[in-house]
Amino acid sequence: MAASYRPGDGSMNALPSSPSDPSLAPREANFVPLTPIDFLQRSAEVYPSKIAIVNGADEITYAAFHARAISLANALRDLGVQRGETVSWLAPNVTSLLEAHFGVPMAGAVLNALNTRLDAAAIAFILEHAETRVFVVDIRLKEVARAALQRTSARPVVLLSGGDDTEAAALGWQSYEAVLSGARSTEWQRPRDEWESIALNYTSGTTGNPKGALYHHRGAYLNALGNVIAFGLGPDSVYLWTLPMFHCNGWTYPWAVTAAGARHICLPVVDPAEIFRLIDEHRVTHLCAAPVVLTMLIHAPAEVKRTFTHGPVNVATGGAAPPSAVIAQMEEMGFRLTHLYGMTECYGPSTGCAPQDEWADLPLEERAVLMARQGVRNVTVSAQSVIDQTTGREVPADGESLGELVIRSNSVMKGYLKNPSATDETLRDGWLHTGDLAVLHPDRYVEIKDRAKDIIISGGENISSLEVEEVLYRHPQVMEAAVVARPDPKWGETPCAFVTLKPEAAGTVTDADIIAFCRQNLAHFKAPKTVVFGPLPKTSTGKIQKFDLRKRAEGIE
Amino acid sequence: MAASYRPGDGSMNALPSSPSDPSLAPREANFVPLTPIDFLQRSAEVYPSKIAIVNGADEITYAAFHARAISLANALRDLGVQRGETVSWLAPNVTSLLEAHFGVPMAGAVLNALNTRLDAAAIAFILEHAETRVFVVDIRLKEVARAALQRTSARPVVLLSGGDDTEAAALGWQSYEAVLSGARSTEWQRPRDEWESIALNYTSGTTGNPKGALYHHRGAYLNALGNVIAFGLGPDSVYLWTLPMFHCNGWTYPWAVTAAGARHICLPVVDPAEIFRLIDEHRVTHLCAAPVVLTMLIHAPAEVKRTFTHGPVNVATGGAAPPSAVIAQMEEMGFRLTHLYGMTECYGPSTGCAPQDEWADLPLEERAVLMARQGVRNVTVSAQSVIDQTTGREVPADGESLGELVIRSNSVMKGYLKNPSATDETLRDGWLHTGDLAVLHPDRYVEIKDRAKDIIISGGENISSLEVEEVLYRHPQVMEAAVVARPDPKWGETPCAFVTLKPEAAGTVTDADIIAFCRQNLAHFKAPKTVVFGPLPKTSTGKIQKFDLRKRAEGIE
C-alpha cells in the first residue's frame, strides 16, 4: 500500500534511450521539499512593507512577520526544541498564532494548536500525549493552562504571550516577547523532506480520547495552494479570522493567505459587532465561518449590523448546509456564500460546492438546494468518491444510493500519532474513510446525508436526522434545531428534536406545534416524537454536539 | 547534490515518540504522485458539459476533451508506445495539441511538441535524437514533416491530423481521427512517480544543435498551479492561445487553464484581425504573447482593431520589456499588461513583475520603468537570485551590480536528454544558471540587462545592447530595433543597430539621424556606429534572432 515515489531511483526516471543517466536524477536546483514556510519567505521578499497582519491597533508588515517568525524559530531552538518535537499553543486568533504557523516549522518542530474551549483535563491529556516541549499560552487562557499543567506530569517550558515579564514571572513562566527578543540567529531550518510533520491537530473527541492527526509539509503546501485557487485569493484580498486557527490549522489559511500575499485581520473573540466593524473598516473580501457565526450575524442587533458595497464578502462555511433563509439574508447584507466540506484528517476543506454558471439565474429555493450539497473535490485533491460500505465500489450517481464519502489526496494526514490501529482503520483500501454517509448526485456533487451514527432507526426504517432538521429549519419560529435518536421500547428509536426558537417566539410555540408542522412536511414516522426547547450545546468549532444531545435524549423520562 | 526526499524512509517522518511507526509512512490514501493529468480528470467531473475548447467552429466540452485524451492514450498504446517513449507533435495551436498534453502522459509517454517554424533538417535531428515512436503531423505542416522524414533514419509511426483517411493514405501515413476512433479501452496510466518525464522541449538552438529539456510531472503540476495563481485564472476565465503551445508547453497553460476549469480558445495562425475578433466574440480574459504580437496588435489596420469593455484583457508578455508606448497603447484598447520572464529550462515563466499597490497612481513613464523589470519569483518557485559570476554570492540589491540570474525550483527541468555535460553545466551549485545578466533592485525585483553574449565591449567599456535599444525605441519613427556587436579593428567591437522604421517613415529617416538621436540620449561611446534598416529576423517564438544579426554585422564591409 505504500507509495512508490522514489525520485532518486533512476530506473523509472529517464527515457529508455538513457536508462541510467545519473545527470537526470533530482538535484538541489530542481528538487526542493515542498513547505509552506516558503510562502512567508516569498511574501517578505515581494511585499516587505505591506501590512500582513492587523491585530487590534497593531499592524505588522510582511518583513516584520517574517523576522518575528525567524526569531521564534531561534527562540525555540535556544529553549532546546529538537527537530520533530511538539510545540503546543493555546491562543485565540491573534498574531502570535500566525507567527507559530511559520516559526515552529522553521525550527523543524511540530505545531500543536489547542482548541481554546478545551477543559484542563483535555489539555493535560494532549500535553502528555504529544510530549510537548514548549507550551505557549495567551494571557487570556492562563487559568485553564495552569490547571492543565497541575494535572499532568508533562513539564514543558511555558511561555506567556500577551503579558509582560512580571505577569509571566508571577506564574513561574517565561515571557514570549522576552524569549523572542533574546533570539540572535537569523538562520532557520528547512524540512529535510516534505513528509516531515508540520502540525498535530487533535480531533474534538466526542467519543473517547482525542486523536492527534499529523500533517506533513507536502500536504500543508498543496492544501494551501488549493485554497488560494478555490477561494480566489490574491494580493488584494483581505481575510478576516472568524474561523479558529486551532481548527485544522485554520483550514490551512494561515499559509494560504500568506501565499497570496494577502492581509490577515485577527479576531480574538467572535463578536458580531466587531465582525461587522472590521469587515467595513478593512474592506474584508474573504472569511471562513461555521454556520453558528452566520446565524449570529443574521440575528445581530440592528444597531451593529452593516451592509457592504465594497464588493461581495466571500464566506466559506462548512459543518452544515446553509439553509435558504441564511443564504438570502447573508446575500442581502453583501456576503456571498460557498458551502465547503472537510475534516481534521484532511487539513480542513477537501470539497466545495463549486457554483455552475447556470445556477446564477435560479430562484433562491432551487439555488439553496444545489448549494446545500458539499460538492466536488478541490483541485489539489486527487479523488473523491461515495462507496458502498459492503462492496467498496462507488454507488450509482443517482442522488439516492447511500454510501460512505471517501477521499484520496496528498492533503490527507500521515496518520494519528501513536495510534496505528486507528490510522489503519481510517486510511484503508486507498481511501480516507470520513465516516460521513452521502449520496452522489448525477452531476457528481456529493451530499452528506448523515454521519453514520446520526441515522435513526425507527421500527426498522432509517430516518435521516438531517432530513428532519431541514424541515424544522423551515418553521418560521425556529432559529436552530438538531435531531437525534431517543431509545424507545416499542420502535427501537424515535426522533427527538432539540429546538432553539427565535427570541420573540419563546413561549408562543409548543412541542405539539412543532410535531404537527413536521407531520405536514414529512412521512409521519419521521416526525419527532419528542421536542425539547432551549439552547443547543456546541463544540468549540460551532458544530452542534449531537453526542451530548444523544445522552440527554437517553435521559428523558 | 541529489535531493534527500525519501518519503518511504521512516527515519525522519515521525515524532521522536514514534520513531519507527510504520503506520505513518506514505500510503495510497495520502500520497499520490503529482501529475497535471488530474486537472483534466477533475474538470471533466466538475464541468462535464462546459465548453472547454473552442477551435474555429468546433466546441468541445470538458467531458469530450477528457474522453478524447483517453482515446489518444489508448491509441498510442495500441500503436506500441511504451512508458517513457517519445511522441512528437507538429501542429499549430489547435485542439489536437491540447489533447496531446493529457493523452500522451496518460499513455505514460513523453510529449515532444515541435516548433512549427523549424526546417526539415532541424525536425529530422529532433526525431532521431528523441527516438520518436509516434509522430503526429497537422495537415498544414505535412510538407516539412515529409521532408524531415526523408532526411532521417528514424521510422516513427506517422499520424495525420486535420486531414481525412484518403489524405493520410496518400502520404503513407495513418489518420489521427481513425486511430483515435479505433481505441477501445478507457483505462489510462498514472505516472509511477512524479519525477517521470512528461515532456521534452528542444531549445531554439541559436548556437549548435538544439538541446532537449526534459520536464517531469511534479514540475508541470506545480508550475501550472503557480500560473493559475500568478495570472488569477478561475472557472470564468477565457484564455486565447496566442502563445505557441510548442513553446515550453505553452508556458504550461494547457494544464493551468484546464486546472482552473477555464476555456481554451485556439488560434492556429497569429493574425491581428482574428485575435481582435476572438477576444470580442468569446470575451477573452487572458492571453500570453511575445512582444512582437503586441506590436502587431498596436499597428493593426484601423478596420480590424477593436477596443474591449468586458473587463481588462490580461496579457502576460515576456522575452523583452514592454516599452512605455506599448503599455499605453495596449491599455487604451482595454488590455492590461504583465511582464514575465522564463526560459525553456524552467517550464516557461518563473518570474513576474508583480504590481505593487502604489504603482497604480504613478505617471505612465515611471510605471513603465518599474514594469520593464522581470520581477520576482512566482509562488511555486523556491528561490531566485542574482549572483556574482566569480564568487557565486548574491550581488548587492543596488540596481547596479551585474550578476547572473539564477533560479531554484521544483519547476526546473530534470536536465537535457542525452547531454549530461550541458545538464551539469546548467544545473550546478544548487541553481539553474539562466545565462542572463541582471541586477537586483533594492526592492528585490530583478532586471535583466543582457544575455551574457549581448554585452558589447568597445574600447574596454561594457555597453549594454538593451540600453541602446531602449533609446532607439524612444525615437518616434522606430517600430523595432536590435543592437549587436560588430567587430572593429580599433575598438574591438562597436554597437551596430538594426532598425525597422514605421511604414510611413520609411525613406525619411537616415542612419545619421538615428546616430544623432542616440548621442543626444546616451554616452557617446554607446551610440551605434552602424545602422541597418529593414525587417528583423525572428525566432518562431517572436524573439529577435541576435545570432543572425551578429553574423550580418560581421559581414558588413
| Secondary structure of A269-301 as H, E, C letters | CCCHHHHHHHHHHHCCCEEEECHHHHHHHHCCC
Q: Are A462 and A427 in contact (CB under 8 A)?
A: no
- Residue A84 DSSP SS3: coil
Interchain contact B389–A (C-beta under 8 A) = no
**B102/B257 Cα distance (integer angstroms):** 13
Is the sign of the CA dihedral A413, A417, A420, A423 positive or negative? Answer: negative
Nearest to A292, CA basis, from A247, A253, A262, A228: A247
Q: Which B positions 496-555 lie with beta carbon below 8 A of chain A?
A: none
pLDDT of B250 over the 80 cut: yes
Give the C-alpha distances (Å, rounded to integers) separating A179 from A155, B174, B312, B553.
18, 73, 49, 65
Which residues of chain A does B232 touch, with a Cβ-Cβ cutoff of 8 Å? Answer: 232, 234
**Residue closest to B526 by CA, chosen among B446, B455, B448, B475:** B455
Question: What pLDDT does residue B322 have?
Answer: 83
Distance from CA of B296 to the nearest CA of A (A): 31
For A270-451, which CATH superfamily applies?
A: ANL, N-terminal domain (3.40.50.12780)
Chain A closest CA to B56's CA: distance in Å? 23
Provide CATH code, domain B40-49+59-190.
3.40.50.980
Q: Is the pTM of this model over 0.95?
A: no
pLDDT for res B504 = 85
B311–chain A Cβ distance below 8 A for any pair:
no
Distance, in Å, from the CA atom of B66 to the CA atom of B443, rounded to the nearest integer, reads 44
Tell me the fold of A459-555: GMP Synthetase; Chain A, domain 3 (3.30.300)
Give start-end residues of each CATH 3.40.50.980 domain in chain B: 40-49+59-190
- Give me the percent of chain B exceeding a pLDDT of 70: 94
DSSP assigned state of A490: T
The pLDDT value recorded for residue A12 is 29
Q: Does A397 touch chain B (CB under 8 A)?
A: no
CA distance A57 to chain B (A): 22
A392–B contact, CB cutoff 8 A: no
| A389 and B CB contact within 8 Å | no
Q: How far is B542 from chain A (nearest CA, A)?
A: 28
Backbone φ and ψ for B302, nearest 5 degrees, come out as: -55, -35
Q: If we measure between CA atoms, which residue out of B263, B333, B260 comes closest to residue B59?
A: B263
Of A5-19, A254-268, B264-278, B444-458, least confident by mean pLDDT is: A5-19
**Between 3.40.50.360, 3.40.50.720, 3.40.50.12780, 3.40.50.2030, what CATH number should domain A62-218 receive?**
3.40.50.12780
Q: Is A8 on the interface with B (CB under 8 A)?
A: yes
Q: What is the pLDDT at residue A540?
A: 61
Report CA dihedral (B390, B394, B397, B400) to the nearest 10 degrees: 20
Nearest chain A Cα distance for residue B490, angstroms: 43
- Bigger pLDDT: B331 vs A204: B331
Asked if residue A393 has pLDDT above 70, the reply is: yes
Of A14, A29, A380, nearest to B408 by CB-CB distance is A29
**Predicted pLDDT at B15:** 32
| Domain(s) of CATH 3.40.50.12780: residues in chain B | 219-451
In which band, very low, low, confident or very high, does the pLDDT at B291 lie, cut at 50, 70 and 90?
confident
> What residues in B contact A2, CB-CB < 8 Å?
8, 25-27, 31
Q: Does the pLDDT at position A506 exceed 80?
A: no
Q: Does A382 touch chain B (CB under 8 A)?
A: yes
Measured distance CA(A376)–CA(B38) in Å, rounded = 14
Which residues belong to CATH 3.40.50.12780 in chain A? 62-218, 270-451
**A425 — contact with chain B (CB < 8 Å)?**
no
A-chain residue closest to B231, CA distance: A234
- In angstroms, the separation between the Cα of residue A195 and the nearest Cα of chain B is 6
Count of other CB atoms within 10 angstroms of residue B29:
28
- 3-class state of residue A226 by DSSP: helix
Q: Which of B18, B20, B23, B30 to mutate to test the interface with A (most CBs of A within 10 A)?
A: B30
Dihedral-angle region of residue B256 (phi above 0 means left; psi in -120 to 50 means alpha; beta otherwise): alpha
Q: What CATH fold (topology level) applies to the domain B219-451?
A: Rossmann fold (3.40.50)
| Contact map slice: A 49-88 vs B, CB within 8 A | 50, 82-86
In this prediction, residues A345-365 reach a mean pLDDT of 93
Mutate to test the interface with A, among B31, B129, B358, B374 (most CBs of A within 10 A): B31
Maximum Cα interatomic distance, chain A, rounded to a whole number of Å: 82
Residue B103 C-alpha cell reads as 493523452
Contact between chains at A259 and B379 (C-beta distance less than 8 A):
yes
**Rg over CA atoms, chain B:** 24
Distance of alpha carbon B194 from alpha carbon B105, whole angstroms? 12
- The C-alpha atoms of residue B503 and residue B154 are separated, in whole angstroms, by 46
Q: Which three cell numbers stand for residue A250?
A: 485554520
Q: Provide Rg for chain A, Cα atoms.
A: 24
A419 to chain B: nearest residue by CA?
B23
Q: How confident is the model at residue B487 (pLDDT cuts 50, 70, 90)?
A: confident
Give chain A positions within 8 Å (CB) of B130. 15
- Angstrom distance (rounded) from CA A353 to CA B78: 39
Contact B550, B537 (CB under 8 A): no
Question: For A111-119, what is the mean pLDDT?
Answer: 93
Q: Which of B468, B476, B421 is nearest to B449 (CA)?
A: B468
**B5 has a pLDDT exceeding 60:** no
Amino acid at A520: Q
Put simply, the answer to whether A15 touches B376 (Cβ < 8 Å) is no
pLDDT score at A460? 67
CB pairs under 8 A between A and B: 275
Whether A493 shows a pLDDT value over 80: the answer reads yes
CATH 3.30.300.30 residue window(s) in chain B: 459-555
